Structure 1
Amino acid sequence: MHNRYSTHLLPQRERQDYWKGVIDNAYFPLELDFHNPDQFNGQLSQWQMGQLDISRLETSATCYKRVARQIDESEPYFLISIPAQEQVRFSQADRTVVCNPGAFILERSDLPYEFSYNKDNALWVIRVPVSQLRSRIREPERFLYMEFDKRRGMGNVFFSFMRNIVQQSSYTDDAAHDVLSNQLIDLLAHSMENDDRVLMSNEANLRSVHLRNIETFVRENIQRSELSPDMIACACQISTRYLHKLFKDSDQTVSQWIKELRLQSALNDIRADTGHTTLAEIAYRWGFNDQAHFCRLFKARFGCTPKEMREA
């Protein structure tokens, strides 16, 4: 099923209420704050593919808020937002992530949040029942508030497949939509699990338990500069040797994984910060106790210094 909505033929005074209804029907109830109400325009195309809803929005600058009174007991959703034109800013559970064109983020519908962009924007949004993603990967909540690359690797395969099934939706029936939507969820799960910041997730039993404990401990203590393999092993009640063995099948060491987590977190803070936090404070916040060392690592990873990233 394909639905299309647009404000372009409506009088300006009717557009805000109309768009509020469109958004509520397409996703769930939200509060909308239009940056320039007198000049707002929006259009939305929506495709229902099996248990998925895929939509493409093109709108003027807008802020979408999900508040506690709007959240009910029905099946919660994950939203995958993929900006195509301008960056978007998402805040939920005291976390903020800035997602740029070329990337995508995962969001939850059953917690209050704020989602905004300050310029005219176009973006894809996929609505997935939480149960569907949980059936593919362990604890998908681990992937919240992380920016994933859609320009290469499995992220690109996932995004390209999504666009292809949308383009061919009028030539495929409901049975095909069920098959294709399941394949798309599989690709989404695989693209997130393949990210270097996420530990291997398809391990059996005891290894899986150890990996989950390691990941939980590191994410809860990532801001501590003294975080080390010995500390992690002790906290997870395994030997340091076994800890390194668990990482042997990945393409990174324990220390490389921790460094990547820290650099990505610092990158997001630099993008999200409005200038009230110094770069030194951001470095210390994520466990870098030497700012010069932090700058060298940041430039080696992202091709520019933290200062240049903030100015950009």
Structure 2
Amino acid sequence: MSHSIESPCIGVIGLGAMGQGTALALLERGLNVTGCDIAAHARQAFEVEGGRSVAMPSELAACDVVVVLVVNAEQVEAVLFGERGVAAQLAPGSLVIQCATVAPSYARELGARLESMELAMLDAPVSGGAAKARNGELSVMASGTPTAFDLAAPVLDAMAATVHRLGEAAGVGSSMKLVNQLLAGVHIATAAEAMALGIRLGLDPHSVYEVITHSAGNSWMFENRVPHILNGDYAPLSAVDIFVKDLNLVHETGRELAMSTPVAASALQQFTAAKGAGFGRQDDSAVIKVYQRLSGIELPEAANDAGGPKA
């Protein structure tokens, strides 16, 4: 198969919040895109917007570039190497853009396995959330060979506002994403703790938000996630379960390196407590409900709460 850098056939595996937005952003740029998801409703949502979709990764065998936007390493394994996986079906010289948040050690191993199959890999975790995915404005933390970047160019141009080229070795992109996720998880947990303290002190939560977002204590996560709390809206844009997974990756990688990560470990415990209380599928800002249970604070409520046990 000849691989056309100008107009490659692109498969996007995983049509969840991030994958659906990315696939639509590629489609709107006029690229030849096929979405892939086991869930019929996800495929239908893509098709309604004019896209083509398939249920099984192996059906993407004709693609030049496959973008993997699934949740974790187990799903990466399944879509690439499982019974209906795509890796063995791809022509030599095809490219896998691996965007899931995985351990750097796994990314390195994956790169070597794909190379042995004469496939290129871009280790390319993403950041920015569902809205930026839909607008093609993600931040991509990528490492791979110059050939991999050349093959990926039309895809990266359509899905990202910023592409950080971090070197040629697999695992570098995933290492950078892990640093980002440590900060993101800690900032969300800290934002929840700060809001809980303010509410427990009797402060108006809207006033806390207004003051902090104009003060030195602000963070991007505080500014982005606290409105979910103020609106009582825990519909999952990024779920509690994601940070249980990602902060566990931080912990496991720290253990591999014999490096302690105590602040991340504390945040992990809060997300784990939120998952244990039944809030795992709610938005990650629902970690504040742990403090609600512990201190009896009253949180703002809304009719569109995503459900789950009430604290």
Q: TM-score, normalised by structure 1?
A: 0.29
Q: 1 or 2, which has the higher strand percentage? A: 1
**What is the TM-score when the length of structure 2 is the normalising length?**
0.29
Structure holding more helix per residue: 2
